Amino acid sequence: MKIAIRYFSKTGHTAKMAEVVSKVTGIKAETVDVPITEEVDILFLGSAVYMAGIDNKIKEFFFSLDKKVKNVVCFSSAAVLSGSYTQVKRLLKKQNLPVDEREFHCRGQFKALHKGHPNQEELDKLSTFIKGIIQ
């Protein structure tokens, strides 16, 4: 099974999550600045919600994808919203790309709100989630 990991992180929270995905899969996590150049069975995509929306860098990355990606599995964090999945799914569907119904989301820290998140318990849950996807 061919796997790729891409993420965008302004604060380092999603980067921390991407490193967990990398450790579980044995695949290097790369930012969305690195294009997908070959077919992949699963693209683990890390994003976050900033000011109630996903960043334009993520949106630009979506437009660079094509049928090389067979399935997109999302992981994300946000301080206020319950996830970025709905926004991500809508944009990927416009590109006719398949989005897995399974998503991992946890709290992210914003200033003093949810300080210390994602925490170790959440990262452990992410690890278990990823293992469930690839097994």
> In angstroms, what CA-CA distances link 47 with 1, 64, 98, 109, 135?
23, 16, 17, 14, 23
The tens digit of pLDDT for each residue in 69-120 reads: 999 999 987 655 555 667 778 878 888 888 898 989 876 655 555 565 678 9
Q: Please give the biggest Cα pair distance in the chain.
A: 41
Taking domain 3-134, whether its CATH number is 3.90.79.10 is answered by no
d(CA 120, CA 77): 14
pTM of the model: 0.86
Lowest mean pLDDT among 1-10, 88-97, 123-132: 88-97
> First vs last Cα of the chain: how many Å apart?
10
pLDDT of amino acid 60:
86
Q: Are 76 and 49 in contact (CB under 8 A)?
A: yes
DSSP state of 75: E
At 59, is the pLDDT very low, low, confident or very high (cuts 50, 70, 90)? confident
Percent of the chain with pLDDT over 90: 46
Q: Is the peptide bond before 118 cis (omega within 30 degrees of 0)?
A: yes
